[in-house]
Amino acid sequence: MVNRRKFIHASAFGSLGILFSKIAAGNQVPFTIKGKPVVISTWDAGLEANKAAWEILHKGGRAVDAVEKGVMVTEASQNCCVGLGANPDRDGFVTLDACIMDEFSNCGGVAFLERIKHPVAVARRVMDKTPHVMLVGSGAQQFAIAEGFLLEEQKLSEQAQAAYEEWLKNSQYKPPVINIENLPVRQAGKQGHGPFAPHKLSNGEWNHDTIGMVAMDTHGNMGGSCTTSGAGFKMRGRIGDSPIIGAGLFVDNEVGACTATGQGEDVIRVAGSHSVVELMRQGLSPEVACKKVIERIVKIKKAKAKDIQVAFLALNKKGQAGAFALHPGFRYAIKSGDKETLVTSKSWFNE
């Protein structure tokens, strides 16, 4: 996580060696992305996660190994939206969703998983060691324990505890609304209390959201991962897009990879990440492909699109990265060569 003042914004993306636009503290400084290996991931926490992925990528390791290790950094941190310290469901239980996919279209996912620190690592075992793609709930937990994962005690982060207590004051038991008020709230430097409410930490940094990560290794092979606690104060048993291959994540080694963040119900509705990859297959750039799927969501949701946030982040086989969000506020982290930066996505609405 980084202090907002240190954020580096960019809006133009390109192929290996193409010019990026970097705006730091009001200055626009051009720089070049060096190409593969490259790793990109959602939100501010992606900066730290990318470093762990890079440890594998720069030594010539596989993208799938890099994206697993990368997002484990976020899972291990105490935060609002990923890992065991995250926002609980309405009944006070943290339930985790994650998935992973490699260059051979092998994939694995876990959903509604409780008391396991690294759901993405369990998803990897589902991929590597079972004939299945997805395990959920107690079955996923049973499998994790059989694989040697420890059954941890749930320990909400300070922020998650505060957010849950705030939510309990009204505890409205209705379908989750992912309120984009959170984004202006964050921009205005205030605490939020919605399902994805960001919280300012004591050191002045902002807490973060779901992490989705996609990478291309030195061999040009791709991999992706996604992990989350889902919507805060969700109904018990609710599963979002993040553990679902084709929704929260999709990798096609011939074309590229995409991951999603935001209101999972609306990502699932358009088979979001798969749709982005299919549009890249037709020749669209990552940013345009992401925008087209956002446009599809806008058409479906009509006026309600104002009330939700969804963002897609994609990488194509040429090493071009791009993103597009419904609302302003989505950022992603990119690392390639000696460059490491946080990028602000373009958005459909520009309020």
| Active-site annotation, residues | 210
Q: Measured between alpha carbons, how far is 155 from 271 in angstroms, rounded to an integer? A: 33
Our CB check for ligand SD4 shows the closer of 44 and 217 to be 44
Residues 76-135 that bind ligand SD4 (CB under 6 A): 81
CB atoms within 10 A of CB 332: 29
Our CB check for ligand SD4 shows the closer of 57 and 134 to be 134
Residues 264-293 that bind ligand SD4 (CB under 6 A): 264
| Span from 56-64, 157-165, 223-231, 296-304 in contact with ligand SD4 (CB under 6 A) | 223-231
| Span from 157-165, 224-232, 290-298, 314-322 in contact with ligand SD4 (CB under 6 A) | 224-232
Which of 207, 225, 228, 285 is in the footprint of ligand SD4 by CB under 6 A?
Answer: 228
Note whether 344 binds ligand SD4 by CB under 6 A: no
Our CB check for ligand SD4 shows the closer of 261 and 341 to be 261
Q: φ, ψ for residue 213 (rounded to 5)?
A: -135, 135
Which of 141, 210, 285, 336 is in the footprint of ligand SD4 by CB under 6 A?
Answer: 210
Site track 30-69 with ligand SD4 (rule: CB under 6 A), x = hit:
----------------------------------------
Residues 250-269 that bind ligand SD4 (CB under 6 A): 261-264
Q: What's the closest the beta carbon of residue 248 comes to ligand SD4, in angstroms?
A: 6
CB atoms within 10 A of CB 129: 12
Q: Measured between alpha carbons, how far is 179 from 289 in angstroms, rounded to an integer? A: 25
Note whether 196 binds ligand SD4 by CB under 6 A: yes
Crossing angle of helices 137-146 and 119-129, in 10° steps, is: 80
Our CB check for ligand SD4 shows the closer of 242 and 347 to be 242
| Span from 84-92, 182-190, 240-248, 338-346 in contact with ligand SD4 (CB under 6 A) | 240-248
Note whether 242 binds ligand SD4 by CB under 6 A: yes
Which of 110, 116, 231, 290 is in the footprint of ligand SD4 by CB under 6 A?
Answer: 231
Q: What's the closest the beta carbon of residue 309 comes to ligand SD4, in angstroms?
A: 8
Q: What's the closest the beta carbon of residue 56 comes to ligand SD4, in angstroms?
A: 24
Q: What's the closest the beta carbon of residue 310 comes to ligand SD4, in angstroms?
A: 8
Q: What's the closest the beta carbon of residue 15 comes to ligand SD4, in angstroms?
A: 28
> Which residues of the shown chain bind ligand SD4 in the complex (CB under 6 A)?
81, 196, 209-210, 228, 230-231, 240-242, 261-264
